[in-house]
Amino acid sequence: MTHTAGTPRHHGFGPMRRKEDARFIRGRGKYVDDIKLPGMLHGAILHSPHAHARIRSIDVGAAEAHPKVKAVITGETLEAMNLAWMPTLSNDVQAVLATDKVRFQGQEVAFVIAEDHYSARDALELIDVDYDPLPVVSDARTAMDEDAPVIRDDLEGRKDNHIFDWEAGDRARTEEVFAVADVVVSQDMLYPRVHPAPLETCGIVADMDKVTGKLTVWATTQAPHAHRTLYALVAGLPEHKIRVISPDIGGGFGNKVGIYPGYVCSIVGSILTGRPVKWVEDRSENLMTTSFARDYHMSGSIAATRDGKVLGVRVKTLADHGAFNGSAQPTKFPAGFFHVFTGSYDMQAAHCEVTGVYTNKAPGGVAYACSFRITEAVYLVERLMDLLAAELDVDPAELRMKNLLQPEQFPYTCATGWEYDSGDYATTLRLALEMAGYEALRKEQAEKRARGELMGIGISFFTEAVGAGPRKHMDILGFGMADGAELRVHPTGKAVLRISVQTQGQGHETTFAQIVAEELGIPADDVEVVHGDTDQTPFGLGTYGSRSTPVSGAATAVVTRKVRERARLVAGAMLEADPGDLEWSEGRWFVRGDPNSGVTIQEIAMAAHGSVELPEGVEGHLDATTVYNPPNLTYPYGAYICVVDVDAGTGKVSVRRIIAVDDCGVRINPMIVEGQVHGGLADGIGMALMQVMAFDEDGNHLGASFMDYLLPTSMECPSWELGATVTPSPHHPLGAKGVGESATVGSPPAVVNAVVDALKPYGVRHADIPLTPANVWRTLQGRPFRT
């Protein structure tokens, strides 16, 4: 094998540089907004200024008369096509363009299509909508009040704003353990509404070719195949005549899972005008109308013995789903995977109740860097553990150590029925404590407290459940969550892998090539990964819930092994040996006991396409396909420690250190994994300290720009200190678990626990996020400092 000096050839796992960065760092990425087609028109959306109002009339005459306007679409236009309403991911319906009422500020009311973007925007001003404002529900806690206005009067027989009640776990058993517990600690806490806020907003170019009848859609989607099938089912378009292309994506974080009104309007617009239509959101539209996350009001309790053995946890949750229930989750779980709130601890019983309500806010409820509500669950249990530690006056690290699941308990079925695949939790926590220099930190803290300085140390130990999901347990809108994969090895031994998942920045073009390289013994540079185009790839449900590695990664391993087995048969013919007598070592089959007699996979590829006589039943060529149905989720976990300093005078929190030890099983590309963790830790600082989508009483959105909705920058982030342990998943063919969302899930409670720990001399037990300077300062008012 010849090596080019200086560029290591990767034949498998390891810190390989990202292939896709060659184009990204040169500004050569191709995003939806880079698509420019001949004759392309531009769409713009008119949004409602009211959070709740009846529409008396919409006058589009002046807009239509604008010289550059080609069409104006309203709810009425869509109604005629039976497209005014579309199904959501949670078996509700959502208005594409409002017909009867507007139900949140920013709701889509009309769609203007013009020759250029600016004219489309200008023409929005010419539309005259006569609104009759209605009372507003802007706080979920009042949604079920007697006199609350009924938001969804479009749904037949609807008399209130209730969506669902859902429970999990064993209520009676939980009551029993609470009854015998020495200590019960309870706390109300809010995980506020936040937004994924990817750098690239959402957008689409829709091109209906009336001659061929083929609809081509370039869209910012994390799930191109799911989108195609839904367009086919909802709009009645033939599925084989729809091609969804998801080009380079500038971050998704869950924001690009759903189908938004702008997508539907652009497709309709292209059908109506016969020309391609582009629509790309601006920042405020993205923050105001596309999917939010969280918005859970939780009342949690934890029960334990006097010596700190946790017995059970219970929680009642009020979930604010906005005006249309568009929450993303497997069909059977209206609260996603929230019921993994028993976290990483061994306990006897647990119970949760979740009530979902409508409010006059944007719909959604996406899994923003969290596999379906696990962020909320982890936050709950990790805050409760700290509250319990404070109540018992024991060290929070010690309390966790005492209750963590033990290695021999895996596979472990938790109190609400989830089967955790593998773990060695104590080792991971110990490593984090060591890296942090935990004892020295506590000493430093004590010294500082004595001087009146506020320093806090926060711990969180999280378990994620990623890789949705086993067909027998879950589906989304009736679709099983299995992923296809296809691998073709060309005559010269170069390979093309086709997968259904979509990269939004995670580096799939690199890591999936590495999986093939590892299993086939060819350089990762010899593998091209094709994704994000429904015409080019097999069906699969898409990228979210950190499922690409657990599901499509497994599919890739399986399909590569199939090709390797096929190669064995060809090698047998080439070597005139019984295939059963052949052995595999990196990149070649050889006759057992005679390592010099082998043939390389490249030689086999050539022979498979050549004139070698193949045994009966062996087709030529070297390729395979597979569909992988995961037997279980994978359960990555980690121990995070955060150190903060708080200025009592201003309430400002400075994050001094974050130590993050992650265990995601076998790491395909440790460098990429670390990058994923870096991003998630920054996310966590953002959610804990500065982010919230707030609304005033009239339902006005108070965070519609980056002036108000704050993203963490390098100024707010310390230099991350990362560690790793490796506990393979026993059911994943590579032993890998997902990791993309781990740090976003694990870090907010570490930061909050640190801040509350810093405020301990003031007797503070809890403070709701975001812990902005104002909120921290307010929390301290009227409280004396006591060491």
Which amino acid is residue 582, in one-letter code? L
| Among the listed residues 324, 293, 296, 310, the one whose alpha carbon sits nearest the alpha carbon of residue 107 | 324
Q: Which of the stretches 72-80, 85-93, 186-194, 501-509 binds ligand PCD when contact is defined by CB under 6 A?
A: 501-509
| Among the listed residues 634, 656, 659, 642, the one whose alpha carbon sits nearest the alpha carbon of residue 740 | 634
Binding mask 741-780 for ligand PCD (x = CB under 6 A): x---------------------------------------
Span 228-267, contacts to ligand PCD by CB under 6 A: 251-254, 257
Judged by CB under 6 A, does residue 505 bind ligand PCD? yes
Q: Which of the stretches 25-33, 132-140, 502-510, 701-709 binds ligand PCD when contact is defined by CB under 6 A?
A: 502-510
Token pair in block for residue 735: 């032993």
Judged by CB under 6 A, does residue 684 bind ligand PCD? no
**DSSP-derived secondary structure for 553-594:** IHHHHHHHHHHHHHHHHHHHHHHTS-GGGEEEETTEEEETTE
Judged by CB under 6 A, does residue 365 bind ligand PCD? no
Binding mask 611-630 for ligand PCD (x = CB under 6 A): --------------------
Least distance in angstroms from the C-beta of 671 to ligand PCD: 9
Least distance in angstroms from the C-beta of 96 to ligand PCD: 23
Judged by CB under 6 A, does residue 546 bind ligand PCD? yes
Which residue among 109, 527, 739, 771 contacts ligand PCD (CB under 6 A)? 739
Cα–Cα distance, 517 to 522 (Å, whole number): 5
| Among the listed residues 338, 435, 421, the one whose alpha carbon sits nearest the alpha carbon of residue 378 | 338
| Among the listed residues 383, 387, 377, 382, the one whose alpha carbon sits nearest the alpha carbon of residue 404 | 382
Which CB sits closer to ligand PCD, 74 or 727?
A: 727
Q: Which of the stretches 237-245, 308-316, 562-570, 658-666 binds ligand PCD when contact is defined by CB under 6 A?
A: 658-666
Least distance in angstroms from the C-beta of 747 to ligand PCD: 14
Contact between residue 362 and residue 323 where contact means Cβ atoms under 8 Å apart: yes
Judged by CB under 6 A, does residue 634 bind ligand PCD? no
Which residue among 258, 326, 665, 703 contacts ligand PCD (CB under 6 A)? 665
Token pair in block for residue 89: 């991911």
Judged by CB under 6 A, does residue 74 bind ligand PCD? no
Least distance in angstroms from the C-beta of 523 to ligand PCD: 17
Which CB sits closer to ligand PCD, 366 or 569?
A: 366
Which CB sits closer to ligand PCD, 664 or 758?
A: 664
Q: Is 656 helix (H, G, I), strand (E, B) or coil?
A: strand
* Chain position carrying tokens 């391993």: 557
- For ligand PCD, how many residues bind (rule: CB under 6 A)? 39
Least distance in angstroms from the C-beta of 506 to ligand PCD: 4
Which CB sits closer to ligand PCD, 248 or 285?
A: 248
Contact between residue 693 and residue 37 where contact means Cβ atoms under 8 Å apart: no
Q: Is the alpha carbon torsion for 213, 480, 13, 608 positive or negative?
A: negative
Strand partners, 85: 95
Judged by CB under 6 A, does residue 94 bind ligand PCD? no
Secondary structure E strands in 153-237: 162-169, 183-194, 203-209, 214-219
Between β-strands 349-357 and 277-280, what pairing exists: parallel, antiparallel or unpaired? unpaired
Cα–Cα distance, 258 to 234 (Å, whole number): 14
Which residue among 534, 676, 691, 779 contacts ligand PCD (CB under 6 A)? 676
Cα–Cα distance, 681 to 562 (Å, whole number): 38
Judged by CB under 6 A, does residue 294 bind ligand PCD? no
Strand partners, 637: 463, 663
Contact between residue 234 and residue 86 where contact means Cβ atoms under 8 Å apart: yes
Which residue among 334, 699, 740, 761 contacts ligand PCD (CB under 6 A)? 740
Judged by CB under 6 A, does residue 637 bind ligand PCD? no
Which CB sits closer to ligand PCD, 17 or 121?
A: 17
Least distance in angstroms from the C-beta of 746 to ligand PCD: 13
Q: Which of the stretches 123-131, 175-183, 185-193, 499-507 binds ligand PCD when contact is defined by CB under 6 A?
A: 499-507
Least distance in angstroms from the C-beta of 290 to ligand PCD: 13
Instruction: State the DSSP H helix or E strand holding residue 608, giving kind and residue range, or none if neither.
Output: helix 601-608
Q: What is the 3-state secondary structure (H, E, C) of 369-432?
A: CCCCCHHHHHHHHHHHHHHHHHHHCCCHHHHHHHHECCHHHCCEECCCCCEECCCCHHHHHHHH
Least distance in angstroms from the C-beta of 432 to ligand PCD: 19
Judged by CB under 6 A, does residue 329 bind ligand PCD? no
Cα–Cα distance, 43 to 266 (Å, whole number): 7
Which CB sits closer to ligand PCD, 459 or 495?
A: 495
Least distance in angstroms from the C-beta of 590 to ligand PCD: 30
Judged by CB under 6 A, does residue 544 bind ligand PCD? yes
Q: Which of the stretches 168-176, 201-209, 332-340, 545-553 binds ligand PCD when contact is defined by CB under 6 A?
A: 545-553
Strand partners, 626: 485
Q: Which of the stretches 19-27, 59-67, 356-364, 661-669 binds ligand PCD when contact is defined by CB under 6 A?
A: 661-669
Judged by CB under 6 A, does residue 537 bind ligand PCD? no
Least distance in angstroms from the C-beta of 289 to ligand PCD: 17
Going from the C-alpha of 60 to that of each of 45, 46, 83, 278, 752, the distances in angstroms are: 13, 11, 19, 21, 50
Which residue among 311, 367, 429, 769 contacts ligand PCD (CB under 6 A)? 367
Span 566-585, contacts to ligand PCD by CB under 6 A: none
| Cα 547 from chain centroid (whole Å) | 9
Judged by CB under 6 A, does residue 405 bind ligand PCD? no
DSSP 8-state assignment for residue 602: H
Between β-strands 277-280 and 242-245, what pairing exists: parallel, antiparallel or unpaired? unpaired
Span 205-224, contacts to ligand PCD by CB under 6 A: 222
Token pair in block for residue 2: 């010849």
Contact between residue 171 and residue 165 where contact means Cβ atoms under 8 Å apart: no
Which residue among 692, 737, 747, 770 contacts ligand PCD (CB under 6 A)? 737
Half-sphere exposure of 152 (CA within 13 A, CB side): 26
Judged by CB under 6 A, does residue 373 bind ligand PCD? no
Between β-strands 483-489 and 622-628, what pairing exists: parallel, antiparallel or unpaired? antiparallel
Token pair in block for residue 25: 């760092």
Question: Residues interacting with ligand PCD, by CB under 6 A?
Answer: 222, 251-254, 257, 366-369, 504-508, 511, 543-549, 664-669, 672-673, 676, 679, 736-741
